[in-house]
Amino acid sequence: DAGITQSPRHKVTETGTPVTLRCHQTENHRYMYWYRQDPGHGLRLIHYSYGVKDTDKGEVSDGYSVSRSKTEDFLLTLESATSSQTSVYFCAIQGEGPGNTIYFGEGSWLTVV
Amino acid sequence: GQNIDQPTEMTATEGAIVQINCTYQTSGFNGLFWYQQHAGEAPTFLSYNVLDGLEEKGRFSSFLSRSKGYSYLLLKELQMKDSASYLCAVRDLRAAGNKLTFGGGTRVLVKP
């Protein structure tokens, strides 16, 4: 258990509305990540953070923004949700396991209608 | 960038052995990871290889050949609970943020 909590776990929202997903960790890890997972595409990195207020884009960052004002919280915001953003979103942290293993939160299922 | 390939789906019988192959192309290899993911759940870490050779962990083993850009995950004495997707992921030295890049995953179905 890497001490990662995601909220909400499930959400249905309408096209054009803003949505924020929260990732909370309890073990003071420096690196945090947001991935999305879709059939046929696997896990793709949206944004990551390497410290408070230090964030950078991943491979599928368009339409998403992030913020990290505290070590323990990493927020993912969809400014104006679109149906193409219907997906499962996983937060992850880099832990101290073999090879600095990445550990995942339980996931947030988002449906944009 | 990185290109990671693994088969989409495999079927095997309970008690048998299954080998899941993963090939990758990366300019600065810095480790290969295998994850297990049951339907509707998060990926969980299985194994890590950074040097050539075989790493054994109970019924699961992972092999790496850096010169060939090749790894496999071996599942022995298959159990029904091993039905899941298996994800291969690679870390590149030059990738910012120590991120992992994932293959599409291999869905393994274990039949009685």
Which residue spans within A29-72 are E strands per DSSP? 32-38, 42-51, 54-57, 64-70
Q: Cβ of B48 under 8 Å from any chain A Cβ?
A: yes
B77: closest CA of chain A, how far (Å): 25
Amino acid identity, residue B27? S
Instruction: Provide the residue-wise pLDDT of chain B in tens; the chain has 112 residues.
Output: 568 999 999 999 999 999 999 999 988 899 999 999 999 999 999 999 999 999 999 999 999 999 999 999 999 999 999 999 999 999 988 887 888 999 999 999 999 9
Give the separation between CA B67 and CA B4, rounded to whole angstroms.
15
Residue A1 pLDDT class (50, 70, 90 cuts) = low
Whether B41 sits inside 8 A of A44 (CB atoms) is no
Q: Are B52 and B64 in contact (CB under 8 A)?
A: yes
A62-90 residue pLDDT tens: 999 999 999 999 999 999 999 999 999 99
Q: What is the pLDDT, as a whole number, of residue A108? A: 98
Give the one of B31, B97, B104 whose C-beta lies nearest to A42's C-beta.
B104
Q: How far apart are the first and last CA of chain B?
A: 40
Distance CA A77, CA B75 (A): 39
Structure tokens at B16: 């048998």
Number of C-alpha atoms within 13 angstroms, CB side, residue B46?
A: 28
A1: nearest CA partner in chain B: B44
Residues of B in contact with A45 (CB under 8 A): 99, 101
Interface membership of B100 toward A (CB under 8 Å):
yes
